[in-house]
Structure 1
Amino acid sequence: MSALSPHAASDLASSHPLLRPWLARPYPAVMGILNVTPDSFSDGGRFNAPDRAIEQARGMIAAGADIIDIGAESTRPYTGAEPVTAEEELARLKPVLPAIVALGVPVSIDSMKSRVADFALEQGAAIANDVWGLQRDPAMAEIVAAHGAPIVVMHNRADVDPGIDIIADMLGFFARSLDIAAKAGIPAGNIVLDPGIGFGKTAEQSMIALARLGEFARFGLPLLVGASRKRFINSVVTSEPQQRLGGSIAAHLIAAQRGAAIIRAHDVAETVQAVRVAASIEALG
C-alpha cells in the first residue's frame, strides 16, 4: 500500500515540511473530522458545544488521528445545508479552536471563506481545506499563500450531471485550481488534491472517482480522500450514515491502494487500524 504515486514520491523533498513525514510513510495519514455545526450530514449537533468538541478532538488524537479537521459550516454534499455568514462561522470556532490547537496535533480548517481561513491560520491552524478548490472565494489563494500553509484543493460542482465524464471534469477543475494557486504564489509542494467524493457527483461518479484515483497522479501531488459515511455507500447497501462504517473502510482501503496519502474519516480508530493492518500485510507480500 503506497501512500504516494511514484511521481509524487520523487518530489517528497519539495513538499511542505508538515506534509513530508506523512507522505514518507507506507500508509496514509488519518484526518479526523470534527464538525462544530448543527446540521452536518452525519454528526450535526453532536459536537457544537465547545466542551464536547474538545473532548471529541482528544478522543480522535488518542485513537491515532494525525490531523484534526474542524469545520463550522456544513458543506454536506446533498441538499439541506444552511449557509452561514463568516461571523456565525467564526462565533462557532472561537470557543474551540485555540483549545484544540493546544492539544498539539496539526489542525485543518475546513472552510470556503478566506476570512475564516485567515482567522484560523492566525490562531494556529496548520492547514486550509477548501471544498471549492480556491474557486469560490477570490481571496482564498492569497490568504493561504500569505500564511505559507498547505492547502487541500477539493473538486466540487454546483450541480450533479449524470451525463458528464466526471474524470475529465475533475482534471479540468484541478488544472484551473492549480493555475489559481500558482498565480497567488502557493508552492506546488503545499498542495493536496481531494476528489470530493459525494460533492457534485452521482453515487456512480463518486465510485468512478475512487476506482480511477490513480489518474490524478499526473499532477504529481498528494491525494486526500474523504469517503466516510457518504451516500454512495447507500446505493450499494441500503444504510443510514451511522451504519456505513464497513463501506467507508472499504472505500478508504481502495483509495490507499490507489495512492491516497491522507484519509479523512469520522471513525478514526477503525480507520487507523484498517490502513495500518493493510499496509503491514502488503509489506509481507
Structure 2
Amino acid sequence: MTYRHARPRTDLPRPPQAQALAGSAHVWFDTVERVDGTQRTLDAAASWPDLARPRAILPNLPNDRPLVMGIVNVTPDSFSDGGTAFTLEAALARACAMVAAGADILDIGGESTRPGAQDVPVVDEIARTVPVIMAIRASGITTPISIDTRKARVAEAALGAGADMINDVSALGYDPDLAAVAVASRVPICLMHAQGTPQTMQSDPRYDDVLTEVYDYLAQRIDLAVSLGVDAAQVITDPGIGFGKTKLHNLTLLRGLSMFHSLGAPILLGASRKRFIGTISGVEDASLRMPGSVAVALMAAGQGAQILRVHDVAETVQALALWRALTGEGATT
C-alpha cells in the first residue's frame, strides 16, 4: 500500500505553487509525501490534484472552512454531559443555544458509546432522539441535524423526523442495514474507526502503526459502503479519537490527520473533552476540558478537517473566527 500525505500549512504568504487542501480557504500544501514501505518520496502538490478538490458536506453549507457540529446527548450516561440534556426541554434548549452560538450542524445522540457503555434498546433510543428532532424542527430551526446512531431503525425514524445525515461510530459494523437507510434517504453517512466495542475498546488497545491501520480500515469501510449502494460523495470519515486508542495513539492520529484527505472524503474530528485531553492537561473533570478541546480543534482545523464535533460551540466558533482571520489570505479587516 502506498500512502499519500499532503503536508498542510497555514502560514502566509502562500507560494505560487500552493494548492488549497481539500478546497480549504485557509489550509494549503505544496508538497505530498508518498510512503511505500520504508521508501518516502516528496511530490509537488500539482502531481495530486484530487487532494485539492473541495469535499461537499450538505447542501447550503460552506466547504471551504471547518464546520462546527454541536453535540446534544439525550442520554443519562455520556462521559461528559450525561443527564444534562436528558429531558426534551433541556435538549431543545441546548440545541437552540448551540444554533444561536453558530453551530453549523447539530448531532443528536440517544446512546452513549463511552468506554464501558451498554447497548440501548432501539425503542428507547428512538424515544430519546426523535421527539428532540421534531421539537427542533417545530421551533423553526433549519440547521442540519445529524443522528448519532449505529442502528438502522433509529436512523430511519430520525430522518423521518427531520434529520439530514447519519453519524455511525461503528462504520456499518453494528448494523449493516444502516447503509440501506442512507441509500434510500440519499443522506451523508459518517464512518468512524473504532477498535473493539464500547465495552472492550479501552482494554489495552494496540497497533503496529495506528495511522496507516486506521487509514486502511476507513478505506475498507468506504469500499463496503459503496458496494452496498452508498454514493461515495456522501461518505464522511472519522478516525475515532478515543475509541480504542491510547493517549499516544490519539496524538499520532491528530499529528497525521491530513493524510486522511487521501481517502477522498470529508474528515470529521470528534475529540471534544476526551480523556487524553484531561490526562495531558491534568484536568480530571471532563466538563472543564473546554480550553484543551479548543486547542485540539484548532490543530485539526490547521490540517484541513471539515467538521469539528464539539460540546463547547460558542468557544470553538469564536476561536475559529480568529483562526480564519489569521490564516485567510486577502483579509483586510
Tell whether 2:253 aligns with 1:209: yes
Query: How many Å separate the matches in 2 of 1:211 and 1:30?
Result: 20
Aligned partner (choices 127, 143, 146) of residue 108 of structure 1: 146
- SS of equivalent to 1:4: helix
Aligned partner (choices 63, 87, 91) of residue 123 of structure 2: 87
Tell whether 2:53 aligns with 1:10: yes
Equivalent residues of 2:269, 2:307 under 8 A apart:
yes
Tell whether 2:295 aligns with 1:245: no
Q: Which has the larger radius of gyration?
A: 2
1:88-142 CA distance string (max 9 Å, x none)? 1011123212012342111000000111011111211001000011222111111
Tell whether 2:183 aligns with 1:165: no
Query: How many Å separate the matches in 2 of 1:101 and 1:191?
Result: 25
Query: How many Å separate the matches in 2 of 1:68 and 1:94?
Result: 13
Equivalent residues of 1:3, 1:261 under 8 A apart:
no
1:181-237 CA distance string (max 9 Å, x none)? 111211111111111111111111011111100111111211111110011112211
Aligned partner (choices 28, 42, 46) of residue 84 of structure 2: 46
Find the counterpart in structure 2 of residue 234 from structure 1.
Answer: 278
Query: How many Å separate the matches in 1 of 2:62 and 2:208?
Result: 34
- Letter aligned with residue 214 of structure 1: S
- SS of equivalent to 2:75: coil
Q: Mark the CA change 1:272 to 1:177 in structure 2 (over 3 Å): closer, same or farther.
A: same
**Aligned-CA RMSD value:** 1.8
Query: How many Å separate the matches in 2 of 1:196 and 1:63?
Result: 26
Query: How many Å separate the matches in 1 of 2:70 and 2:51?
Result: 23
Instruction: Tell me how far 1:4 sits from its aligned partner.
Output: 3.1
1:44-80 CA distance string (max 9 Å, x none)? 000011011101100000000010100000011x22x
Find the counterpart in structure 1 of residue 218 from structure 2.
Answer: 174
Equivalent residues of 1:3, 1:256 under 8 A apart:
no
Equivalent residues of 2:69, 2:310 under 8 A apart:
yes
Equivalent residues of 1:28, 1:262 under 8 A apart:
yes
Find the counterpart in structure 2 of residue 22 from structure 1.
Answer: 62
The structure carrying a bigger helix percent of its residues is 1
Ranges of 4+ aligned residues in structure 1 off by more than 6 Å:
none
Find the counterpart in structure 1 of residue 302 from structure 2.
Answer: 257
User: 1:59-138 residue pairs with structure 2 within 5 A?
Assistant: 59-76=97-114, 78-79=115-116, 81-102=117-138, 103-138=141-176
Equivalent residues of 1:101, 1:107 under 8 A apart:
no
Q: Mark the CA change 1:114 to 1:8 in structure 2 (over 3 Å): closer, same or farther.
A: farther
Aligned partner (choices 314, 318, 321) of residue 273 of structure 1: 318
Q: Mark the CA change 1:3 to 1:168 in structure 2 (over 3 Å): closer, same or farther.
A: closer
Q: Mark the CA change 1:110 to 1:73 in structure 2 (over 3 Å): closer, same or farther.
A: same
- SS of equivalent to 1:174: helix
Q: Which has the higher contact order (CA 8 A, sep 6+)?
A: 1
Query: How many Å separate the matches in 1 of 2:21 and 2:61?
Result: 11
- SS of equivalent to 2:61: helix
Tell whether 2:194 aligns with 1:194: no
- Letter aligned with residue 206 of structure 2: P
Query: How many Å separate the matches in 2 of 1:95 and 1:223?
Result: 29
Instruction: Tell me how far 1:172 sits from its aligned partner.
Output: 1.9
Query: How many Å separate the matches in 2 of 1:246 and 1:208?
Result: 20
Instruction: Tell me how far 1:165 sits from its aligned partner.
Output: 1.6
Paired residues, number: 278
- How high is the sequence identity, in percent, across the aligned residues? 43
